[in-house]
Structure 1
């Protein structure tokens, strides 16, 4: 069984297909790894590991090397994947920010894949800021990252009896429980670094003889690397992130409040002592919550298409890892592991790929857009109190693969629809033929506004600097019945004093499978803020087919 899991591997721009960083192994096993009991990272997060669809087989296409990921290699890999007859492509790479579609090799390659019935799933990006989502093409399934109900923490025991909880994946166990603690500014000299640099433990600030056998207190999380270089026993740093990273020496990263508590303790005693415990798992009661690093919308290129599309688990994910790679990404960390814990939209992307493969296995004749629609319209809407960017953070919501297997209705988008949208965005006939490989003549009557694309979400940017503006926007849509042959769906909409939603017709009656029905959604009101987050839901008594409706003014 193991020998038939990876059935092919190609490489481009490098010497071999071997994974020397661990990223490819981790993402591939998340999507389709076999079931392995007792998997862990040095006992941390121990349990049964399995990919989303363990019965699937994997073909790997290594397009990145130490020199980066070239456009030519990415496009060549797409060509090979199409020729190889893959069912899905999961690609956990991308630019820092979005590119125009005709300049984006992943957008181009995935368009060609879509033409052949292949759904492409891509990570949204890890920039974290609003408007930073890098995957913006509507034919790509774009994935944000969110938490699971398991977190990983590393506790710190101070000599005064205080116990603090920090972030890291720390597999090391210190021999003693009362280790000397020294502040970075006390372990440096003025000739080496100024006081602020020493506090942060900037590179080459710490003196080996002053940190040997001690834990170093550093204002900056990057200080752990200088502590390692200088030969410290461990480090305690300040860090406001929501992710525990694998560390190359005993380390715990504390919030500012707890870090100040350690500073006060150091200043209150002549011989401060500390112990850094091995990491442990805890229960995240507010999961799922979108990761702070996960790139957010709105879509900077196609403003009337919502991105990301969905979110999925992407924080502190345990999965297989290359034995040739350092788990902390530090060259001097020579540990070799079978499993490691990583975070990023790279980790959430293969979760959705696995869910899509599961849906496709049940419905092999469904188009890429139908599979995508099924996962979008059945996703859980997340708690806006924990995700202030709302749909710009989580898209339609957190995936629910079980519900997606039976969505009731799907929004299908044809290649011609995408092409008309490209015409509306300014692409000319030559661009369509040379880059996207379609023989289509753009004309005024064939140009389409992206908001009118038959997409499972509905988005409009008002594009005005006015603070208060009345608006009325229409969204034409068509759904295909993939549920019960004889069924009737009634429209339910969100309610607010700021807007009203009209759906015409508000009832859809189907008499057979694969029958299509068209309707129009009108949202109107007075816009006074930055974003209106609304929704339409079709309900037949068994299925809830939910589409977010977003009106914004950026």
Structure 2
């Protein structure tokens, strides 16, 4: 049994191009932050019974593909993730023969592909038959915030699960308000309640308009110590000031987070109720209870922090590609750190933790890709990606007003993805033609491909983004315009040898879609058939979306269609 456990991680390397390590970091592949352990166990952790965070989320913890092996390439440290280290890790992973690369890392803003080390590394992995699964980013819900945008990699948004963690606030008058956090503490008694705006650290030059946000050093320690502080936003100052608890206000409270002290987020409406109680009561008190679990009937929907499209680099390629669970995920945690990573105030060292992020969604999609590959070992990275996208479950635009810019093709469905019926396949030259058509110079093209002989022929420079064999269809234009685009696509039969697929179009008012031919027939596995999609869209202020589905009576091969105003 020990031999099996020890062979779960079959290799581990670390990278630091300048050889200078931040103070406190360990010069080894060991995870001292928790993030790597968490994401790796989501993708491929073995089944463990009775896993929990102090009783929260109790049950069996298991990765998506528990039989898979893990090779670790540590590229990030407490201060940064260097481009050179990212590229070196990609090279080693490719040389080591990994099947899928899972990279829950991204920049704060999008870069051109030839300036993006992750995009360059993912291109090299694609050349070698390896799909790279990326997190979409945590800068939502603002538009155009997705950072991992390369069409040869999979960009994953974070969706909710059917369980959520709530943390109640009980006031001295008996009123109870439901908040959101991962709170393992239980303040058994009522504590004095103060408002951050009333206790500024005046000696340090702060006033109430600043201390109301409870920013670092903004609170008067003598007036906060031993109390619960009501804050209009953050919590850092309450930790330093020695408070026993913090009540924060935020309407983006669809994910729960942990704090070094007893804390919770209330909606702004409930926060106002607490504020009113505080000012109407001579000696206001409160208590923050330990978190409890509740079901979520609205799940799955894309969480507010998940980065949104549209694509800032190539406006007519839809990103993110799809969504996967990334909210309130229980998974393994490094015992080289604490629950929150604050080693000075937080002494809780645990083997499992509950955190949220597109970093958690990425390994869920990685596991789904591994699952598909285990049944289809010869599938190309593009084919695996297509299988995941075209079988994804459509999501509600009512829950996510940004629609496909939030969830891409929809929520992953690994069971269906194993047998997608048809795939939109691509090879390296397809992406090279795409880059040439985007006007990339020979120099920039070679930066991405790593091939000193790469160049763009006349036929390649004439290539358009709409002819890239992508599993989604996107057009953009200026507001209040009518635009027509023609997409040339091909699909490869990976379903039944003899089959006929009929095109079904879903198109709202303002979107006209025509497919030629609308009926395609296959006589063998691996056979390709080409078709043309003509889309005419009336583009106003909001995006409009529909879908194309190829249906043979068994498989539903669905691609989203999106039209929007880019300027």
**TM-score, length-scaled by structure 2:** 0.94
Deviation at 1:543, TM superposition (A): 0.6
Correspondence for 1:151 among 164, 188, 197? 164
- Higher mean C-alpha deviation, range 323-332 or range 41-50: 323-332
Name the SS for the 1:226 alignment partner: helix
Aligned partner of 2:401 in structure 1 is 388
The one-character-per-residue Cα deviations of 1:492-543 (angstroms, maximum 9, x if unpaired) are: 0013332221110000111111111000011124333432212100001111
Correspondence for 2:435 among 409, 422, 425? 422
Correspondence for 2:151 among 124, 138, 146? 138
Deviation at 1:341, TM superposition (A): 1.1
Tell me, yes or no, if the aligned pair for 2:503 and 2:518 is still in contact at 8 Å.
yes
- Structure 2: distance between partners of 1:189 and 1:461: 51
Structure 1 residues 504, 185: closer, same or farther in 2, change over 3 A? closer
Aligned partner of 1:456 in structure 2 is 471
The one-character-per-residue Cα deviations of 1:265-289 (angstroms, maximum 9, x if unpaired) are: 1112111121111001111111111
The one-character-per-residue Cα deviations of 1:57-84 (angstroms, maximum 9, x if unpaired) are: 0001001112311111111001100110
Tell me, yes or no, if the aligned pair for 2:120 and 2:447 is still in contact at 8 Å.
no
Q: What are the residue-to-residue correspondences of 1:71-220 with 2, within 5 Å?
A: 71-128=83-140, 129-176=142-189, 178-188=190-200, 190-192=202-204, 193-220=206-233
Tell me, yes or no, if the aligned pair for 1:88 and 1:353 is still in contact at 8 Å.
yes
Aligned partner of 1:442 in structure 2 is 456
Unaligned stretches of 5+ in structure 1? none
Correspondence for 1:234 among 234, 237, 245? 245
The one-character-per-residue Cα deviations of 1:460-498 (angstroms, maximum 9, x if unpaired) are: 222x3xx43232211111001111111111000013332
Deviation at 1:153, TM superposition (A): 1.1
- Structure 2: distance between partners of 1:402 and 1:539: 18
The one-character-per-residue Cα deviations of 1:408-435 (angstroms, maximum 9, x if unpaired) are: 1000011111000111112233433354
Correspondence for 2:528 among 516, 530, 534? 516
- Structure 1: distance between partners of 2:216 and 2:28: 34
- Structure 1: distance between partners of 2:537 and 2:316: 18
- Structure 1: distance between partners of 2:34 and 2:447: 36
Name the SS for the 1:341 alignment partner: strand
Deviation at 1:198, TM superposition (A): 2.8
- Structure 1: distance between partners of 2:121 and 2:227: 52
- Structure 1: distance between partners of 2:448 and 2:470: 23
Deviation at 1:161, TM superposition (A): 1.5
Structure 1 residues 227, 529: closer, same or farther in 2, change over 3 A? closer
Structure 1 residues 432, 208: closer, same or farther in 2, change over 3 A? closer
Unaligned stretches of 5+ in structure 2? 22-26
- Structure 1: distance between partners of 2:438 and 2:201: 59
- Structure 2: distance between partners of 1:3 and 1:457: 42
Tell me, yes or no, if the aligned pair for 1:5 and 1:58 is still in contact at 8 Å.
yes
Tell me, yes or no, if the aligned pair for 1:156 and 1:276 is still in contact at 8 Å.
yes
- Structure 2: distance between partners of 1:75 and 1:233: 45
Tell me, yes or no, if the aligned pair for 1:151 and 1:283 is still in contact at 8 Å.
yes
Structure 1 residues 38, 441: closer, same or farther in 2, change over 3 A? same
Tell me, yes or no, if the aligned pair for 1:45 and 1:280 is still in contact at 8 Å.
no
- Structure 2: distance between partners of 1:191 and 1:135: 45
- Structure 1: distance between partners of 2:217 and 2:11: 45
- Structure 2: distance between partners of 1:444 and 1:189: 67
- Structure 2: distance between partners of 1:282 and 1:424: 51
Tell me, yes or no, if the aligned pair for 1:29 and 1:51 is still in contact at 8 Å.
yes
Aligned partner of 1:291 in structure 2 is 303
Matched, 1:312 2:324: yes
Matched, 1:40 2:55: no
Deviation at 1:27, TM superposition (A): 0.5
Name the SS for the 2:13 alignment partner: strand
- Structure 1: distance between partners of 2:507 and 2:442: 43
> How many aligned positions are there?
548
Name the SS for the 2:30 alignment partner: coil
Deviation at 1:186, TM superposition (A): 4.0
- Higher mean C-alpha deviation, range 82-91 or range 159-168: 159-168
Tell me, yes or no, if the aligned pair for 1:151 and 1:284 is still in contact at 8 Å.
yes
Name the SS for the 2:261 alignment partner: coil
Aligned partner of 1:548 in structure 2 is 560
Tell me, yes or no, if the aligned pair for 2:202 and 2:220 is still in contact at 8 Å.
no
Name the SS for the 2:382 alignment partner: helix
Tell me, yes or no, if the aligned pair for 2:474 and 2:562 is still in contact at 8 Å.
yes
- Structure 2: distance between partners of 1:551 and 1:407: 25
Name the SS for the 1:64 alignment partner: coil
- Structure 1: distance between partners of 2:65 and 2:301: 24
The one-character-per-residue Cα deviations of 1:424-452 (angstroms, maximum 9, x if unpaired) are: 11223343335412333312222211121
Tell me, yes or no, if the aligned pair for 1:265 and 1:272 is still in contact at 8 Å.
yes
Aligned partner of 1:10 in structure 2 is 13
Deviation at 1:47, TM superposition (A): 1.1
Deviation at 1:160, TM superposition (A): 1.3
**TM-score, length-scaled by structure 1:** 0.96
Matched, 1:408 2:411: no
Structure 1 residues 174, 499: closer, same or farther in 2, change over 3 A? closer
Matched, 1:493 2:496: no
Matched, 1:338 2:351: yes
Name the SS for the 1:68 alignment partner: coil
Aligned partner of 2:24 in structure 1 is none
Correspondence for 1:326 among 335, 338, 356? 338
